[in-house]
Amino acid sequence: MKKELRTTEGAAPIGAYSQGLVVGDFVYTSGAGPLDPGTGEIVGDDVAAQTHQTLRNLGAILAAHGLGFDDVVKATVHLQHLKRDFAAFNEVYKSYFNHPYPVRTTVGSELLDILVEIDFVAHKSA
């Protein structure tokens, strides 16, 4: 059984998908980008600013189910400019997590007018 997660604190979906789904003890988020939840506009001109906004959006989705960044077990990251932006992205990303960090896949991808997109798998511990 799956339950949809939806919050106005994170950017609204721009297509036919949910912000997140709860399936058992796991939460799966859709790929989130650096959109302002109130305006739908892209926040930030560089990967650091866009990563902060993306992670704020994902944090809001997790919070809608009582979870936080320490509950994230897997992240998938897409960077528009992998070689150029990886170091700046990684500095921001690691500031949101404690050891042990979630497992992560980071790839270069063609993105629609944004520099970063991230999705999470989180686990709700009993």
pLDDT score recorded for residue 76: 98
Indicate yes or no: pTM above 0.75.
Answer: yes
Residue 112 has what DSSP assignment? S
Kindly report, residue by residue over 67-108, the tens digit of the pLDDT: 999 999 999 999 999 999 999 999 999 999 999 999 999 999
- The candidate with the shortest Cα–Cα distance to 10, out of 31, 49, 41, 36, is 36
- The candidate with the shortest Cα–Cα distance to 61, out of 126, 115, 121, is 121
- The candidate with the shortest Cα–Cα distance to 34, out of 61, 9, 11, 54, is 54
Q: Which domain holds residue 50?
A: 2-123
Number of domains composing the chain: 1
Any idea which residue has 């150029």 for tokens? 84
Kindly report, residue by residue over 15-74, the tens digit of the pLDDT: 889 899 999 999 999 999 999 999 999 999 999 999 999 999 999 999 999 999 999 999
Model confidence band, residue 2 (pLDDT cutoffs 50, 70, 90): very high
Query: Do residues 50 and 58 make contact, with C-beta atoms less than 8 angstroms apart?
Result: no
State how far the Cα of 103 lies from the Cα of 49, in Å rounded to an integer.
23
CATH number for the domain harbouring residue 30: 3.30.1330.40
